Structure 1
Amino acid sequence: MANQLNRLSNLRAIAPTKSAIFSSFCTDSVQLQSGSNNEADNLQEKNRQDQVRKLSTLLRKKRFKSARTTMVSLVLPGSPFSSPADLISVFSQSFPSPKPIFTDMLLSICAELKLPDEATEVYNSIRKEGNFPCSSAFKLFLESLVSSGHYNRTIDIFWEVINSGFRVDRFAYSKAIESAVKLGDLTKAMNLLNYMKRHGVSPNAFIYNVLINGFCKEKRTEDARKLFDEMIETKVTATMFTYSTLIAGYCKVFDMENALEIQRRMKGENMESNLVTFNTLIDGYGRICQFENCFEILNEMENKGIVPNEITYGSLVYNLCKDGRLCEAELIMRDMENRKIIPNAQIYNSLIMANIEERKMEDAKRIVEEMKGRGLLPNEDTYCILIKGHCGVKDFVGAYGWYRELIQNGLVLNMAVCNELICGLREEGMESEILSIRDYMNKQTQCRRSKFSKVIERGRGSIRSCSNHKHRPISFFI
């Protein structure tokens, strides 16, 4: 018996405790996990090196099309490289010799893929080493910045290049000037133009057109005209866009005399007015209520075989209605129907608005019914016009009827109009209708809050995923 007890005691001494077993298991698991992670990292690094080696071989053999395909795959999501800068770093360490070809191609690809932040990253990497990209890559880069709305960045890069002692071409100037115009800084744009001319680079039609368009949008037609005259003096050929922009600019400030003078000059250059030009002139004369001239231009365009469209008729209807000439506006509508041109909701809304302003509620209702009969449902603007119009003549019951129809059609009413309707219904003592509208307003408020919360949550989700995503910066997801 004593011997048996001694053997049991010895076994207990030899056997490990539960905690020892668990500790040993955890240690083994950590080591296994660590080994697994190291193996994954090694595979990842091998893949990176293999991709760089493949790319280098393709570039060295001048197989640029294949190299480009490979490089695109290394820029897009799913790449083993966290960013273009990471790719540049690994490539430079392994194969420094073909690096300029490599970075120029990478810059071009990022620009063409509309990745302005990544393209900027590549450009900064090139400049950091004291180099400059090739002309074609730099042009693509500037174009991508402007097309993606990075106007300030475009101008900053332009001046950085100038201040570094590099000579830039006309294209770079054009993108800097275009960016300044897009920003609404016409003074900066003109300073760039003058700087350009002082350094012996002559503006082309594109640069003049960008500036003329910018001044016309700001209703600075005198400045636009000076640039146009400068174009002619320096033998830069004005394009159809140049003439159309100037005509539109003059029409915008109701200077029809100069608008027609530009049209005549255009004819002198053997450029025929197109539909856009004729529509612009018709709208210009309509805004100053010179409808005889509108119809003369309409006849001229038809004689040239140019068919009026809904924009032509829409302008005529809108301006006739604005001048209170409802009968003529309806005649224009009938002419549209005869030509198989279907009026849109905006044209109908012009007629409805004009009838309501004349307090012709039945005629307004008739036009709405005609609109429906043509398969064109009234939109939110239509109902807003109707509700406000009926409130204006103290017909709150009629206004509420239009409100009910809007709700049934699943449309949304402006909150200010809802409040105006509530004030009117209160005068009529229609409390149940008021409660119905308030309930609708509360639901709309909750709906907007819910949509806003979803937008915020999506943004947060993108940021969270980006924090765990090593292939793209946050700006890529937002």
Structure 2
Amino acid sequence: MLPQLLNRTVTYLRPQLRFLSPLPPSTSLSSSSEQPPPAPAPVTPPPPPLKLPLDCSPARLRKLIATQSDPLLAKEIFSLAASLRPDDFSPSSPRSYSSLHVLILKLARARHFSLADSLLRRLPSPSPGLFSALIKVYADAGLPDRAASAFRYMLRHTRCRPSARHLNRLLSALAARPDHLPSALHILRSADAMAVPSDVRSHNVLIGAFCRIGKLSIAYDLFNRMFKRGLTPDVESYRLLMQGLCRKSQVTSAVDLLEDMLNKGYVPDALSYSTLLNSLCRKKRLREAYKLLCRMKVKGCNPDVVHYNTVILGFCREGRPWDACKLLDDMSDNGCFPSLLTYTTLVNGLCSRGLTEEGSHYLQDMISKGLVPHFSVFHALVKGFCAVGKYGEACDVLAEMLNLGVAPHVETWAVLLPGVCDDDGETSMAAAKRLVMEDGWRRATRIVQAGPELEEYMARRSPGRGVLSGTMHLVGNRNSQSVRPPFT
């Protein structure tokens, strides 16, 4: 009776216990309190083997590698392709050469040099273009030793022969480091023994490098070596030697080299003339510099603003601004327009000789052409006018300066204020000086903070009264606009 009663109870309670798992048929009531055995874990089928698409051509793989920003990920892609389709993408397969070239350069540019070298040694036939690009990457990274190793590997372990382009890139990499110049010179002299051609560019690289460190004798030997080998030096060869001579203050030899260049039918470039003009002006040989400037157009090189500025600066340094003014007139006749530096140099030169009226004329000419003068131009004019007691003109210059949004230097105020204040205004003068000399003078500072009595006093005492008063009001009104803090 008991088993039948239990079965009827379970049948009655089954709808209410739907959420419970049914007891297995063999389970008795006595074992219902025990935990059922855990269900076996489902068996996950193994993933299908990786396959490359049949249409994955070498060109498609190369494009995929080239578009990867991470070089290590690009290497993993290539390794996966080589493991799945070794006949097409192994390093020994000719079809993978283009992808390997891209990968090697990508690794080298990311400074993974060891990985790049290991892939390079697995490549049976590297192309000359790969070595040329690789040497340039090492040169740009400042690693001349690695560039030399790549060049030697190309000579000894590949069937491609270095060209003059490979040699020139290697020499450029070595010449960038003065301590590697002996190695570079040895490689150039051994180029014939290595069956590597050299050209004018090869010699120019080392001529410029030895001139920069002052070893002119070696530079001249390389220059003469070109003639012995049947090579013709170009304009750059002469210019590099002239620059080396000018660095050593051998200006006369540089001029002789220019004459030899002209006699042989060469047309010097603009940089050659700039080098000579600058050296002649520094040696105070202004007459020769002016003659050379006049000869430039006749010899096929039109002078530009840099050449004129060089000679104008030379005249102004020697206290001859009137000659510099003549050059400014010649510029317009030759179709060359003065620059901001031209006017700045000229006005400063005129003011240094007390020719402030002429300097003021060139200031107005400068402004009429849309050029905003440097604050030093205004300072030179203010200082020059104040030196001869023309404080009204000095205030006009200061007003023009503020109208253009140029902040006066504290020295400009220090030069102008003593001229418009006398002994009766010591208190106002001290307040003004204290204000303009403050380190914290910024856009929000108003000059009229010195006090209304300072403005009235300066307007009353200044020969240019009214002008200075307007200037003071102008400074106060522009405090929240474009007035920049003064240079300290």
Superposition TM-score, scaled by structure 2 size = 0.63
3-state SS of 2:65 partner = helix
1:108 & 1:428 partners in 2: Cα distance? Answer: 74
1:67-216 correspondence runs (5 A) = 67=59, 71-77=62-68, 83-98=73-88, 99-100=91-92, 101=94, 104-106=97-99, 108-109=101-102, 116-117=109-110, 120=113, 123-127=116-120, 129=122, 131=124, 133-146=126-139, 149-152=140-143, 154-159=144-149, 162=152, 166=156, 169=162, 170-183=164-177, 185=178, 187-198=179-190, 200-201=193-194, 203-216=198-211
In terms of fraction of residues, the more helix-rich structure is: 1
Residue matched to 1:328: 323
1:265 & 1:137 partners in 2: Cα distance? Answer: 42
Identity between Structure 1 and Structure 2 (%): 14
Measured after TM superposition, the shift of residue 210 of structure 1 is 1.0
Measured after TM superposition, the shift of residue 119 of structure 1 is 8.5
Tell me: higher relative CO, structure 1 or 2? Use CA pairs within 8 A at least 6 residues apart.
1
1:50-69 correspondence runs (5 A) = 50=53, 54-56=56-58, 67=59
Measured after TM superposition, the shift of residue 407 of structure 1 is 10
Measured after TM superposition, the shift of residue 260 of structure 1 is 2.7
Matched letter for residue 124 of structure 1: D
1:107 & 1:121 partners in 2: Cα distance? Answer: 15
Q: 1:338 to 1:268 in 2, by over 3 A?
A: closer
Question: Any conservation in 1 of the 2:131–2:150 contact (CA below 8 Å)?
Answer: no
Q: 1:196 to 1:230 in 2, by over 3 A?
A: closer
Question: Any conservation in 2 of the 1:231–1:238 contact (CA below 8 Å)?
Answer: yes
Question: Any conservation in 1 of the 2:340–2:371 contact (CA below 8 Å)?
Answer: yes
Question: Any conservation in 2 of the 1:106–1:122 contact (CA below 8 Å)?
Answer: no
Question: Any conservation in 2 of the 1:151–1:179 contact (CA below 8 Å)?
Answer: yes
2:413 & 2:13 partners in 1: Cα distance? Answer: 97
In structure 2, stretches of 5+ residues that fail to align are: 1-8, 22-45, 418-428, 446-488
Q: 1:215 to 1:392 in 2, by over 3 A?
A: farther
Question: Any conservation in 1 of the 2:246–2:254 contact (CA below 8 Å)?
Answer: yes
Match status 1:355 vs 2:357:
no
Match status 1:340 vs 2:335:
yes
Residue matched to 1:303: 298
Deviation string, structure 1 residues 407-436 (Cα, Å, up to 9, x no partner): 96488x9xxx77x77998997743444458
When the two structures are aligned, how many residues end up with a matched partner? Answer: 387
Deviation string, structure 1 residues 345-369 (Cα, Å, up to 9, x no partner): 1212221332344455554444332
Question: Any conservation in 1 of the 2:281–2:289 contact (CA below 8 Å)?
Answer: yes
Question: Any conservation in 1 of the 2:175–2:209 contact (CA below 8 Å)?
Answer: yes
1:395-434 correspondence runs (5 A) = 405=401, 409=405, 429-434=432-437
Matched letter for residue 55 of structure 1: S
Measured after TM superposition, the shift of residue 109 of structure 1 is 4.3
Matched letter for residue 78 of structure 2: I
Matched letter for residue 368 of structure 2: G
Measured after TM superposition, the shift of residue 93 of structure 1 is 1.2
3-state SS of 2:249 partner = coil
Match status 1:438 vs 2:429:
no
Q: Which moved more, 1:281-290 or 1:317-326?
A: 281-290
Aligned pair partner of 2:225 in 217, 227, 230? 230
3-state SS of 1:314 partner = helix
Question: Any conservation in 2 of the 1:107–1:141 contact (CA below 8 Å)?
Answer: no
1:441 & 1:115 partners in 2: Cα distance? Answer: 54
Matched letter for residue 369 of structure 1: Q
2:77 & 2:270 partners in 1: Cα distance? Answer: 51
2:368 & 2:275 partners in 1: Cα distance? Answer: 31
Q: CA RMSD in A?
A: 4.7
